[in-house]
Amino acid sequence: MILQETMELNNGVSIPKLGLGTWLMEDAEAERAVIDAVKIGYRHIDTAQAYGNEAGVGRGVRACGVPREDLFVVSKVAAEHKDYDSAAQSIDQTLSTMGLDYLDMMIIHSPQPWMDVNQSDDRFFEGNVEAYRALEDALRAGKLRAIGVSNFQQGDLENILANCSVVPQVNQVLCHVGNTPLHLIEFDNDHNIVTEAYSPVAHGAILDNSTVAAIADKYNVSVPQLCIRYCLQLDCVTLPKTSNPAHMATNAEVDFVISPEDMSALESVGAIDYGDASAFPVYGGKL
Ligand SMILES: NC(=O)c1ccc[n+]([C@@H]2O[C@H](COP(=O)([O-])OP(=O)(O)OC[C@H]3O[C@@H](n4cnc5c(N)ncnc54)[C@H](OP(=O)(O)O)[C@@H]3O)[C@@H](O)[C@H]2O)c1
């Protein structure tokens, strides 16, 4: 049962393979979603300073009835914090906003501030080292159990590996059928960095893709189930988002195996049209 499966991070900490995403949920919705998800068996929750729902997620974590140490709670240092002091202060602010003594993991949300994503070639190497040092210090101080990065390409990771002392525990990246960053996953694997797949259901844009639906039919599963299973079989921690308890439950029913042939077919699916969501920098848009 996937909800009970974990992976070991490079510092020995266990991370549940399936987590609940909370992007675009407001506080009250996020609080409810955390409580519902934990009831279903989820133990891993993904939020971010930028989502504006850390307070709601924190309330859900405190109210869900499962001991804190049995949960894996993650937030992200906002992409705009590219100096040590603002990153360090933001980590303390996250703990206080969430009402938690520690987080299981915090990661740098993006190597570039969102304003610069798809706009500029500046990869903010110095700023990312500064922000990452704040994460390292919070790790040493016991405020965090693991640290990592998100949206980092190989060069961004090489900068951290060359200039920081803790190898990132994870790299959280856009990964779904139609957008599989195989080279980056391989680079992560070679450096003992777990890849986390965000938007595993392509932000909902893949739901009516007929090629993917035909493969899902073969396995008698839904498109979201096939897409989630696909990311898990790439050895990625997988983070589907939903606030619908029925979807939470079926998204965790993925104990089937996609054949190597169908994995290859899914790898070859062409780019997905994200529709209105294309305006978000993570899907190619510019702020
Ligand atoms: N690090 C980053 O920069 C970054 C960027 C994007 C996302 N993320 C993380 O990854 C998480 C997931 O990504 P995402 O939010 O973009 O999208 P996603 O999980 O790929 O897709 C979410 C969409 O799919 C729908 N959905 C989910 N399960 C379904 C089901 N079983 N049946 C029908 N519809 C279903 C949801 O609607 P319903 O709510 O109606 O179920 C929602 O519209 C985020 O919440 C966030 O935690 C991180």
- Atom 4 in ligand 1: residue holding the nearest Cα: 198
- Atom 48 in ligand 1: residue holding the nearest Cα: 198
- 177 CB within 6 A, ligand 1: no
User: What is the number of the ligand 1 atom nearest to the C-alpha of 242?
Assistant: 39
Ligand 1 centre to CA of 84 (Å) is 31
Across 18-32, average pLDDT: 99
Across 22-35, average pLDDT: 98
SS3 content of the chain, % helix, strand, coil (to 5): 45, 15, 40
User: What is the number of the ligand 1 atom nearest to the C-alpha of 150?
Assistant: 1
pLDDT of residue 20: 99
User: What is the number of the ligand 1 atom nearest to the C-alpha of 225?
Assistant: 31
- Atom 14 in ligand 1: residue holding the nearest Cα: 199
Q: How far apart are alpha carbons 223 and 215 in whole angstroms? A: 8
Strand positions, DSSP E, the chain: 6-8, 14-16, 20-21, 44-46, 72-77, 105-108, 147-150, 170-174, 194-198, 237-239
Ligand 1 centre to CA of 165 (Å) is 33
The verdict on pTM exceeding 0.85 is: yes
Which of the listed residues 34, 223, 242 should we mutate to test ligand 1's pocket, taking the one with most ligand atoms within 8 A of CB? 242
The Cα angle at residue 24 between residues 22 and 26, in degrees rounded to 5: 85
Q: How far apart are alpha carbons 240 and 52 in whole angstroms? A: 18
Residues in CB range of 147: below 8 A, 6 or more apart:
105, 106, 107, 132, 135, 136, 138, 139, 166, 168, 169
- 53 CB within 6 A, ligand 1: no
**What mean pLDDT, rounded, does the chain reach?**
98
Share of the chain above pLDDT 90, in %: 100
Reported as a single tens digit per residue, the pLDDT across 43-62 is 999 999 999 999 999 999 99
> Which of the residues are catalytic?
51
Which of the listed residues 2, 20, 23 should we mutate to test ligand 1's pocket, taking the one with most ligand atoms within 8 A of CB? 23
- Atom 47 in ligand 1: residue holding the nearest Cα: 21
Reported as a single tens digit per residue, the pLDDT across 63-114 is 999 999 999 999 999 999 999 999 999 999 999 999 999 999 999 999 999 9
- Atom 37 in ligand 1: residue holding the nearest Cα: 242
Ligand 1 centre to CA of 203 (Å) is 5
Ligand 1 centre to CA of 142 (Å) is 30
Across 134-160, average pLDDT: 99
Domain regions of the chain by residue span: 2-283
Which of the listed residues 76, 105, 150, 199 should we mutate to test ligand 1's pocket, taking the one with most ligand atoms within 8 A of CB? 199
Rounded to the nearest angstrom, the gap between the alpha carbon of residue 165 and the centroid of all alpha carbons in its chain is 23
- 241 CB within 6 A, ligand 1: yes
CATH number 3.40.109.10 given to 2-283: no
